[in-house]
Structure 1
Amino acid sequence: MIPLLRNLAADNARPRVTYYNDATGERIELSGSTVLRWVNKAANWLQDEMDAGPGTSVHVDLPADHWRAVYWILATWAVGAVLSDDPDADIRIGLDDPTADLSEPEASLAPSDITSQPDAFTAYVDPAPEDLAVDLGGAQVPYAALLATAPRQTPRVLVTGDLAQTLLTTYARDGSVILLRNEDVDKRAARLLAEGLPLA
């Protein structure tokens, strides 16, 4: 298990993803155990159905503000594959996209094609520190970056930039992320206050 996932497993009851969708009125909290379960299902699909492993490129073609993107990014790293922004990557995960290798539903409660995958995951090949983990527009990050230790703290972070980088830095520090989809900006101040975040 990669260090980011070990952090989630160590305190698996605490919320690790808080997801708002102002178009539907949803507010969903995912605990560490729930995030891990989805990561494991996605990683099993990547490894067993698509033969993904170190060197495989995966394009997570999901909106960065959708909660499903979180577990696909982490699952890509769990199998040692490379997260890529190239739509012609070896594997493409889409949202309501029948042309993708796997298409996730937009609706949070709609069933995913990976639901039947096992809840536990063991990588056939553990990622090596020198393996490339992220290749986004020429910004290449070796897997060693995922193994770096960081001060243990519990930050809550509103995702406003690159989701993969935010997950890396936040979960390495044992934190949690907040995603705002279809945001009603008039609600932001009250929402940040309710979530214990400083006003942006």
Structure 2
Amino acid sequence: MNASDRTPADLLRSALAADPARPLVTFYDDATGERVELSVATFANWVAKTANLLQDGLSAEPGDRLALLLPAHWQTAVWLLACSSVGVVADVGGDPAAADLVVSGPDTLDAARACSGERIALALRPLGGRFPQPPEGFADYAVEVPSQGDRFAPYVPVGPDDPALAVAGTELTGAQLVDRARADAAALGLAAGSRLLSGRAYDTWDGLSAGLYAPLASGGSVVLCRNLDQLPPEGLEKRVASERVTDSAP
């Protein structure tokens, strides 16, 4: 990636300019059998739509805190980059009562209701499907996001020193996040074209880095696996071969 990239949104822009057609996130849920592959261009389109939803639909502003109550999932990765694009701090597993808005999966809706601001719910169904019945007090992401614009421009520029991410008690600016992602990529031996398989949860920096930021910072891609413990050893070996995995972070 470009040495001048100083924010997560910069990393995504560089990836899009370099090779929009290459895979960026390949997601497996081994509890449901789901597999989704997103190219850089497709992922960036989801990010743009979600950022527009944040900025225009939810009136989020730079510096707002968003409690992100989602597991390791391709849609979580989209929200992380969308927050960075707008300048919203993604507080992973954060307290909804202390947040300006909340994004929740189906298993954390009760906790998410503590947020007095806007509430978005994701069904996390295959292919980004909707809830059969929208949860009371929440907007359904799958209903709201398709109509959003395919291009995003922030009303206020997002700088490298602006806060970008909070996870497990640590808060990082955009520049700090990028620097740590680059260091992790080097430690993992990632380079352009690398395919990193990650079975780590998204509740720590290590999980977020292996599951998104380090591959993005290196020009590589991630094979993100949820419920990997439900896959037998022979299934894992087959996946490593079929997905052309070069590195692993189980």
Q: TM-score, normalised by structure 1?
A: 0.87
- Equivalent of 2:15, from 8, 27, 40? 8
Tell me if structure 2 keeps the 8 A contact 1:7–1:172. Answer: no
Matched, 1:61 2:69: yes
Larger RCO (CA within 8 A; separation ≥ 6): 1
- Equivalent of 1:133, from 140, 164, 180? 164
- Deviating more after overlay: 116-125 vs 89-98: 89-98
The Cα shift of 1:132 comes to 1.1
Matched, 1:22 2:24: no
Q: 5+ unaligned residues in a row in structure 1: which ranges?
A: none
The Cα shift of 1:182 comes to 3.0
Q: Secondary structure at the match of 1:118?
A: coil
Deviations 1:141-193 (A, max 9, x none): 11213555958622211223344323222211111111222333312122112
Q: Secondary structure at the match of 1:3?
A: helix
* Corresponding residue for residue 117 of structure 1: 148
Whole-angstrom distance in 1 between the partners of 2:35 and 2:166: 32
The Cα shift of 1:125 comes to 1.1
Matched, 1:195 2:236: no
* Corresponding residue for residue 185 of structure 1: 231
Tell me if structure 2 keeps the 8 A contact 1:8–1:36. Answer: no
Give % identity: 35
- One-letter identity of the residue aligned with 2:163: L
Matches within 5 A, 1:44-123: 44-64=52-72, 66-84=73-91, 85-88=93-96, 89-96=99-106, 97=109, 101-109=119-127, 110-111=129-130, 112-113=142-143, 114-123=145-154
* Corresponding residue for residue 136 of structure 2: none
* Corresponding residue for residue 154 of structure 1: 193
- Pair 1:193–1:135, CA change in 2 (3 A): same
- Deviating more after overlay: 154-163 vs 119-128: 154-163
Whole-angstrom distance in 1 between the partners of 2:169 and 2:32: 36
Q: Secondary structure at the match of 2:208?
A: helix
Whole-angstrom distance in 1 between the partners of 2:20 and 2:32: 27
Tell me if structure 1 keeps the 8 A contact 2:53–2:148. Answer: yes
- One-letter identity of the residue aligned with 1:173: S
Q: Secondary structure at the match of 1:120?
A: coil
Q: 5+ unaligned residues in a row in structure 2: which ranges?
A: 1-7, 114-118, 131-141
Tell me if structure 2 keeps the 8 A contact 1:41–1:120. Answer: yes
Whole-angstrom distance in 2 between the partners of 1:45 and 1:169: 26
